[in-house]
Structure 1
Amino acid sequence: MICRACELPLAACLCAWVRPVDNRVELIVLQHPQEQHQAKGTVRLLQRCLSRCRVLVGEGFDEALLAPLLGAGTALLYPMDATALAGATAGPVQRLILLDATWRKSRKMLQLNPRLQTLPRLALTELPPSGYAIRRAQRPEQRSSLEAAALALQQLEAQVLPGLDRYRPLWEAFEGFVADRQKFG
């Protein structure tokens, strides 16, 4: 049996962990096709929780599809050669692009979509330890897509509204999801 809401088998249903969050900055996830059906993937939960989140699946994206998403106010969350956004965009970040893939596949996605390489990049600062205990990271700074998105959105919104803890429900959803998935080994 498949859950109609999250489209996962009932044994893996994540609906119990959905916590709605009204994010100011729109999140666009470019998801590699191999990540789309991963039971341990966090993008499905991220999409169900955030009010402004779109997921596009593919490796190389049509220019006509990407062009409207990559205008002024858009930044790429990607660590390679990342520099802080100070002065890099005309105005505040209104849209954040996140690549959901393994590190090797995300580099290929970046190569296949040259317009992404022209975007200002957001560098995450003050990273807490990862809570993603269901997959092993190769480096200590690596995070699940949900963790990276939540940290980036918090960082961006703190520049506008300091002290805001809008993303606590998203972190609670993540913690419940991880604990639930750990039961399956």
Structure 2
Amino acid sequence: MTSASLPRRLRCAICLRAQSACICQWVTPVAHRVEVLILQHPLEVANAKGSARLLHLSLPHSRMLTGEVFSEQVLLGAPLEPQGATQTVVLGAKHNILLYPDSPEDRALNLPAPPALAPELLSDPSRLRLIVLDGTWRKSRKMLYLNPPLQQLPRLSLQDMPASNYRIRKAHRADQLSTLEATCAALMQLERCVEPFQPLLRAFDGFVEQQLGYRGGSS
């Protein structure tokens, strides 16, 4: 039998994974006020360990795009309507904030210092849009370098975070979080509310256990 004649694995139309590995049971809709734009590196698309798709499906006011370089209109443009039948642009500018650490490595790349995050921007979470880079540390840093509009944004840098439960991917430090964990932590901070995001974090634990089960529970 040739490779061309092999049956294709059936895929879930929602989570885009093989039906045998569907993660839709972990999708947990969250009522959130801050809009989220997830920029996914192309190498993350087929990564079964990635959490960005689960995050996107659980956040009604989110959009996920794949690529390394994006237009300024996409990065800084008008917000979108919540997920649904239409994805039309609506009126009303958002204050964009990049979820990214203020790293000394930026200076090694000759990146400009990001502007300070003005406290007045945080007064109304519904006027905020959080931009999240989904990729390894090396890939996300490259995305920042290739997209000057992102370099001009104020940053939200998470501090003193607990150890991640993301046991299915290797981390260089215990406090390095998955895209889903980091985004939930950022939304908790921006919306000054913790409880709405707890069900999604518990669902994420189930997602991690599911992935560990595929490899016999090894870490």
User: Structure 2-normalised TM-score?
Assistant: 0.76
Aligned to 1:134, the other structure's residue is in SS state coil
* Counterpart amino acid of residue 184 in structure 1: Y
Tell me which of 117, 139, 147 is aligned to 1:85. 117
Quote the Cα distance in structure 2 between the aligned partners of 1:51 and 1:117: 27
Equivalent residue number for residue 46 of structure 1: 55
Moved more, 79-88 or 170-179: 79-88
Equivalent residue number for residue 167 of structure 1: 197
Gaps of 5+ in 1: none
Equivalent residue number for residue 124 of structure 1: 158
Aligned to 2:97, the other structure's residue is in SS state strand
Identity %: 48
CA drift of 1:149 comes to 0.3
Aligned to 1:166, the other structure's residue is in SS state helix
Quote the Cα distance in structure 1 between the aligned partners of 2:190 and 2:173: 24
Tell me which of 114, 117, 134 is aligned to 2:148. 114
* Counterpart amino acid of residue 57 in structure 1: T
Is it true that 1:156 corresponds to 2:187 in the alignment?
A: no
Given that 2:40 and 2:64 are in contact with CA atoms closer than 8 Å, whether structure 1 keeps it comes out as: yes
Q: Relative to 1, partners in 2 of residues 1:153 and 1:90: Cα closer, same or farther, differing over 3 Å?
A: closer
CA drift of 1:102 comes to 1.0
Equivalent residue number for residue 96 of structure 2: 74
Aligned to 2:60, the other structure's residue is in SS state coil
Is it true that 1:145 corresponds to 2:179 in the alignment?
A: yes
Q: Relative to 1, partners in 2 of residues 1:19 and 1:178: Cα closer, same or farther, differing over 3 Å?
A: same
Where relative contact order (Cα < 8 A, 6+ residues apart) is larger, the structure is 1
Equivalent residue number for residue 109 of structure 2: none
CA drift of 1:20 comes to 0.9
Quote the Cα distance in structure 1 between the aligned partners of 2:170 and 2:120: 33
Given that 1:35 and 1:41 are in contact with CA atoms closer than 8 Å, whether structure 2 keeps it comes out as: yes
CA drift of 1:92 comes to 4.0
Quote the Cα distance in structure 2 between the aligned partners of 1:106 and 1:88: 28
Q: Relative to 1, partners in 2 of residues 1:90 and 1:10: Cα closer, same or farther, differing over 3 Å?
A: closer
CA drift of 1:6 comes to 1.4
Is it true that 1:32 corresponds to 2:41 in the alignment?
A: yes
Gaps of 5+ in 2: 1-9, 80-92, 104-113
Structure 1 ranges of 4+ moved more than 6 A: none
For this pair of structures, how many residues does the alignment match?
181
Q: Relative to 1, partners in 2 of residues 1:114 and 1:92: Cα closer, same or farther, differing over 3 Å?
A: farther
Aligned to 2:195, the other structure's residue is in SS state coil
> Over aligned residues, Cα RMSD in angstroms?
2.1
- From the CA coordinates, give the structure whose radius of gyration is larger: 2
Deviations 1:49-99 (A, max 9, x none): 111111011101122322315965210000134897353748545110010
Tell me which of 178, 190, 209 is aligned to 1:179. 209
* Counterpart amino acid of residue 26 in structure 1: E
